[in-house]
Chains A and B, each alone.
Chain A
Amino acid sequence: MKRPALVIAILVVLLGGALRWLRKGDRVNEPGKEDLLVHCAAGLRRPMSEIARQYEEEFGVKVNLQFGGSGALASQLEVAGGDLYLPADQSYIDFAREKGLMKEAIPAARLTAGLVVSKGNPKGLQELSDLGQEALKISLAEKSASVGKFTWKVLEMEGLIDKVTPNVVVTKPTVNAIVEDVATGAVDVSLAWDAVAGNFAEVEWIAVPEFSRRAKRASIGVLTSCKDATRALHFARFVTARDRGRKTFLDLGFVVPDEGDAWSQVPDVTLFSGSMLRPAIQGRIREFEAREGCRVNTVFEGCGTLVAQMEAGANPAGYFACDTKFLMMVQDRFFAGQVMTGNEIVLLVRKGNPLELRGLADLSREGLKLGICDGEKSALGELTRIMLERRGLTGILEGRVSVKVAKGDDLVSAMQARSLDAALIYRSNALASPVTLEEHEILELNDELAFAEQPFAVGKETPYPELMKRLGEFLTDGQARGRFEELGFQWRLER
């Protein structure tokens, strides 16, 4: 080496060039912030690679797929973040949610574990207990993979661990690797997902009841470390859309848990909701729209009105009813609803209670201007009617009432306008505006009939059932709860 200085200079220039090339190669699709990073279970490699390719073709957004065992990916999550996580099993979703790492999750595929043997099943294996046979070579996935965790657990539960373990010659980190072992003839059998086995022509998959009755659900979830949830959700929706990702899953031999949503760039849905819920959920709906990149058309009315509209042909994607009774009237259009909140019926009187009203019985007083809701137009009205009837105060209903309105809000307005002395409303109506309680006060009725429960239900015919499910969750998650309770609702949902 004659001139070291020259050599060093050349090396430095080469190094600089190499590093620049690496940085550029990175920016082909704009800086990393535009790309999506998905941690994906190895068993779902084939469908996801195809879906990612389709997505990039359609939207020009690159999707980085990191494959690995679901458990191994979970540990990476905590350290390195990312946008989405698609484990092979719901338990990992739950784990991630518990740790606050994940927000919404959409079911993508159903995986069933079973015996994977060489084509023709030379060893004639039929049942799980057959794995304890003499001189059998088994390859199992490690517990860092979803199928590994699951199959080991089931073996233990069925008391087969001691018989089977001696036959386990190797464990591998991904489900693909163990099926490949069977395909190459290195082992006789392995326990793997049906769909993965479908990738290999040299093997066949045998169902066994111990696994079949515990089918697994693979869901794609949005991580809290994601910088742009809308884009992540866009992809997640794509993956689970019935005419996009789901189709690919089906084409590649995977089972899907249900039909899934239709695909749309900006899904458009309609939500019917009891008007007393408006202050609680209105803002949250806006947030949902922004996050999901969809449009939620809302109709806030008295439930009677809403039911009538439905009977007239309206077909909302979701219904957040004032009370279960009103959902039941249109139950056939919806999947089973889930009760989210409760609302007490109270008596609103002028501040200081000048008329000294104490309970329902006082309401039959002469000359009292009482306001209630129309039983046909609103749940509040219906519940009030039922309550008064049961308490033997039908007289009020039959003539004495001054005002019958469609919604609780209207009664509050009437009270404020001094056109009423008292009104039977929801507690939330009273708390909807801080002004109300400046001049009025609430009398509790202490009557078990003075109570409404609000269920949320998803329409059977909507093309976006998953989206609606997410809407229901979003409207009633931890963040929303505070708002509900502020407004006088009682929390009914166990989460």
Chain B
Amino acid sequence: MVKEGGNQAKIWRVRPEWPFLLFLVFVVAAYLGVLLLLVGANVLTVSWRQAGEVLKDPNIQHSIKLTFVTCTATAILSVLVSVPVGYLLSRYRFRGRALIDTLLDIPILLPPLIVGLSLLILFNRISPSASCWILAGGALAAAGWGFGRGENGIVPRFFTGGAIVFGFIAWAFSGSDHSLEEVVSEVGLPMTFHPLGVVLAQFPVAAAFAVRTMRTTFDQISPRYEDVAMTLGCNRGQAFMRVVLPLAGKGIVAAGTMAWARALGEFGPILIFAGATRGRTEVLATSVFLEINIGNLPGAAALSLLMIMLAVSTLLVVRFLAGRGGTV
């Protein structure tokens, strides 16, 4: 017989667990329910005949192709950029790192329209000369920062050299009336209202997300591996290529799919900078907008479903790869 007394331990009473569990399940169910309703609403709006019509439309088919190509191009570009940037931010401590970090997040924070508008203005209103002045100024500031800190290593000299080169180009081209768009068009790379501009419009935001992902990836890889590799004779570059990159594989895939998904959903900058010309610069995101605009709701719903499916499968791929020990 158990006596309840001062010298015997009380059996602790625990409150029942099920209210909490129910609460959790309720929240999850409610949230999933909303998502289900959103998808379901689309499914119900789509008459399969109209969906078929929309998908048979050669303009839409071109839009799908263009979406794939631009998203892939943007994703690859983002990966190629974000790996070095993420590595630098992760491994090197330098003054102003916090500032650079914040600057790199700007495309994520800004409304996408501003990205598009800035691109439009940059290419059509600002002369290449002015652009070079801006770059020269930035390089000079970076150089000044480095020198101010007492370093006279290769990095500040690199920036000073850059400042001189840009300044020279700017001076050489000053007075020229052409816009940047005219210059790039001359060399066969038209941007504004052209397909290449779609990639340029998708890139800033996609890359920003990729950089974040890669930074975290590299943060999670112990610097110890590089240390050991260096004692074995590697310089930093060799340690990076032979030891760190292989480990970052999953992270890179995650960054790439993240960038791909962001590019898929990007709409504002593309509309402003590349336009939404049927059969030319129209991607799925703008297709939906255009279908809505002409009152073709079922068509828009069909495209929405297509995009939802694409987004979901992308996420599944990411989860799958990340779950195998990678980092997201």
Contact = CB atoms under 8 A, between A and B. Distances in A.
Contact present between A and B (CB < 8 A): yes
A484 interface: no
Interface string A62-86: 0011110000000010011100000
B73 A32 contact: no
Contact of B295 (A1, A12, A200): A200
Interface in A177-222: 177, 179-180, 183-184, 199-200
A11 B79 contact: yes
Given A19-B199, A32-B194, A177 B80 contact: no
Interface string A218-235: 000000000000000000
A23 B196 contact: yes
A355 to B, nearest CB: 58
B252 interface: yes
A32 B185 contact: yes
B293 A67 contact: yes
B79 A18 contact: no
B124 A81 contact: yes
A37 interface: yes
Contact of A176 (B188, B246, B293): B293
Contact of A23 (B70, B189, B193): B189
A174 B291 CA distance: 13
Contacts, number: 103
Interface residues of B, number: 43
A440 interface: no
B277 interface: yes
A23 B190 CA distance: 8
Contacts of A42: 293
B136 to A, nearest CB: 24
A14 interface: yes
B69 interface: yes
Interface in A444-479: none
B163 interface: no
B280 A64 contact: yes
Interface residues of A, number: 40
Given A22-B196, A23-B189, A79-B125, 20 more contacts: A1-B245, A2-B246, A4-B241, A12-B76, A22-B69, A22-B199, A23-B188, A25-B280, A26-B194, A26-B280, A32-B193, A45-B294, A64-B275, A67-B276, A80-B193, A174-B293, A177-B293, A180-B292, A180-B297, A183-B295
Interface string B269-296: 0001001111010000000001011110
A56 to B, nearest CB: 10
A21 interface: yes
Given A4-B241, A177-B293, A80 B73 contact: no
Contacts of A19: 73, 196, 199
B195 interface: yes
- Residue with the highest number of chain A CB atoms closer than 10 Å, among B66, B192, B278, B293: B293
Main secondary structure of the interface of A (DSSP, over half): helix
Contacts of B77: 15
Interface string B47-77: 0000000000000000000100110110011
A494 B120 CA distance: 38
B190 A11 contact: no
B80 A12 contact: yes
A18 B69 contact: yes
A199 B198 CA distance: 31
A8 B276 CA distance: 32
A179 B295 contact: yes
Given A4-B246, A5-B241, A18 B73 contact: yes
B14 to A, nearest CB: 49
B52 to A, nearest CB: 21
A456 to B, nearest CB: 36
Interface of A: 1-2, 4-5, 8, 11-12, 14-15, 18-19, 21-23, 25-26, 31-32, 37, 42, 45-46, 49, 64-67, 76, 79-81, 174, 176-177, 179-180, 183-184, 199-200
Contacts of A67: 276, 290, 293
A80 B124 contact: yes
A25 B66 contact: yes
Contacts of A66: 193, 275-277
A4 to B, nearest CB: 4
Given A79-B121, A177-B292, A21 B69 contact: yes
A192 to B, nearest CB: 12
21 contacts: A1-B248, A5-B241, A11-B76, A11-B79, A14-B76, A15-B73, A15-B77, A18-B69, A18-B72, A18-B73, A18-B76, A22-B195, A25-B195, A31-B185, A32-B190, A45-B293, A65-B278, A80-B192, A177-B293, A179-B295, A183-B295
Nearest to A184: B297
With most chain A CB atoms within 10 A of its CB, the pick from B72, B76, B248, B252 is B76
Nearest to A81: B124
B249 interface: yes
A79 B295 contact: no
Contacts of B72: 14, 18
A76 B193 CA distance: 12
Contacts of A25: 66, 195, 280
B124 A26 contact: no
A224 B66 CA distance: 32
B193 A65 contact: no
Contact of A199 (B249, B290, B295, B297): B295
Contacts of A11: 76, 79-80
Nearest to B272: A76
Give 4 closest A-B pairs by Cβ, nearest first. A1-B249, A18-B73, A4-B245, A22-B195
A64 B196 CA distance: 16
Contacts of B195: 22-23, 25-26
A37 B70 CA distance: 22
Nearest to B293: A176
Contacts of B241: 4-5
Contacts of B188: 23
Interface in B165-205: 185, 188-190, 192-196, 198-199
Nearest to B70: A22
A32 B280 CA distance: 11
Contacts of A5: 241
A26 B190 contact: yes
Interface in B191-223: 192-196, 198-199
Contacts of B277: 64-66
Nearest to A199: B295
A79 B124 contact: yes
Contacts of B290: 67
Nearest to B279: A62
A11 B290 CA distance: 33
A79 B120 contact: yes
Contacts of A46: 294
A211 B73 CA distance: 50
A168 to B, nearest CB: 20
Interface string B9-35: 000000000000000000000000000
A180 B294 CA distance: 9
Interface in B71-93: 72-73, 76-77, 79-80
B73 A22 contact: yes
B120 A80 contact: yes
A475 B245 CA distance: 71
